[in-house]
Structure 1
Amino acid sequence: MTDLLDTYIENRERVQPTDANNYGTAHGGNVTKWMDEVGALSAMRFAGETCVTASIDQMDFERPIPVGETTVIRSYVYEAGRTSVKVNLEAYREEPRSGERKKTTESYFVFVAVDEEGKPQEVPELTAETERAERLRRKALDGRDD
């Protein structure tokens, strides 16, 4: 069994002009890519196997991330099926000098654990051993529309 907090990953990307749209803010496709990469890391840490993206549930872009700011991606596994791994992902814009953050994007990704031949593999049971882990799990489950 793997605990939810073992899957918690936070990563940063500095928004460069090459990451931006014509409005000088991070292109939504880049934010989605960064979220997918970090989400896969959480899923793989949980499953102990390679994990591939199976679905992305609505991407809610709440505010832009200007060039020069940092994109912080927060990711953790909140639920698991037989071979599937559900990951909560949030992106924040962070002012690099002050560290001030504002949430910009939220989504839920589903990954599937696979072997070297791409065949689905069973994943372990997810636990939430601490109050913080249970709070994160409940937040993700409560935030789902389905």
Structure 2
Amino acid sequence: MNKTKRPEDSLTIMNELVLPNDTNTLNNLMGGRLLHWMDIAAAISAQKHCNRIVVTASVDNVSFKQPIKLGDVITIEAKVTRSFNTSVEVRLDVWAQNIPSGTKVKSNEAYYTFVAVDQSGRTIPVPELKPETTEELELFAGALRRRQLRLVLAGKMQPDDAVELKALFAKS
């Protein structure tokens, strides 16, 4: 049976140097390249948790808060926030650092969802996640609402069935 794991067990930190081939004509990192790197970091994190092959199921809204420049070093931190039956949610935080100037800014954050599969591509159960810190507990609790929103937007859940999500908008 699957053993319970801690969020820290899935922590993945990935660094990339923004090179000319990664940028647009304004010398800013192309968004698609960043999404690609984020997908890799998140997949590694999910695989660490599941000890299985995982496939990307969804990517939440990704907003780019700061442009990332040619020569910046990108740090992507990924960690599983919650596991469900056969899927896991991974939170990513992206930082851009200009080493010569000594500046470091948060570029964006996002949530990716992965499904664990066997060698035939069939979904398989994943280990439970046991959050430990206050932040991990908050992310764990919010993951159910984020999951319901994903399912409603994908047409896989009726809005009236999204009880946790509806509770955010209910008048007290």
TM-score normalised according to structure 1 size: 0.90
Select which of 104, 109, 114 maps to 2:112.
Answer: 109
Q: Which residue of 1 aligns with 2:135?
A: 135
Matches of 1:97 and 1:126, distance apart in 2 = 40
Of 32, 37, 45, which residue of structure 2 is paired with 1:34? 37
Moved over 3 A (4+): 97-100, 139-146
Which of 122, 125, 133 is equivalent to 1:122? 125
Aligned partner of 1:93 among 81, 96, 103: 96
**Rounded Cα–Cα distance in structure 2 between residues aligned with 1:99 and 1:9:** 23
Which residue in 2 is equivalent to 1:43?
A: 46
Residues 137 and 66 of structure 1, relative CA distance in 2, 3 Å threshold: farther
The residue aligned with 1:18 is 21
Q: Partner amino acid for 1:118?
A: G
- SS of 1:124's equivalent in the other structure is coil
Distance 2:35 2:26 in 1: 18
* 8 Å CA contact 1:88, 1:140 repeated in 2: no
User: Equivalent pairs: percent with the same residue?
Assistant: 33
State the Cα deviation string for residues 7-26 of structure 1 (Å, max 9, x = none).
Answer: 11111000000000111010
Does structure 1 residue 57 correspond to structure 2 residue 63? no
Alpha-carbon separation, structure 2, partners of 1:7 and 1:98: 32
1:31 partner SS: helix
CA 1:93–1:124: 2 relative to 1, 3 Å: same
Please list every run of 5 or more consecutive structure 1 residues that lacks an aligned counterpart in the other structure.
Answer: none
Partner of residue 79, structure 2: 76
Cα RMSD, aligned residues only: 1.9
Q: How far 1:141 sits from its partner (Å)?
A: 5.2
What code does the residue aligned with 2:25 have? Answer: N
Q: In the TM superposition, what is the alpha-carbon distance from 1:97 to its structure 2 partner?
A: 3.8
Count of residue correspondences: 143
CA distance in 2 between counterparts of 1:28 and 1:137 reads: 30
Larger strand proportion of the pair: 1
Determine which structure has greater relative contact order: mean sequence separation of CA pairs < 8 Å that are 6+ residues apart, divided by chain length: 1
Q: Structure 1 or 2: larger helix share?
A: 2
- Secondary structure of 2:63's counterpart equals strand
Distance 1:98 1:45, change over 3 A: farther
* Structure 1 pair 9–82 and aligned structure 2 pair: CA distance change class (3 A): same
Amino acid at match of 2:77: R
Structure possessing the higher radius of gyration over alpha carbons:
2
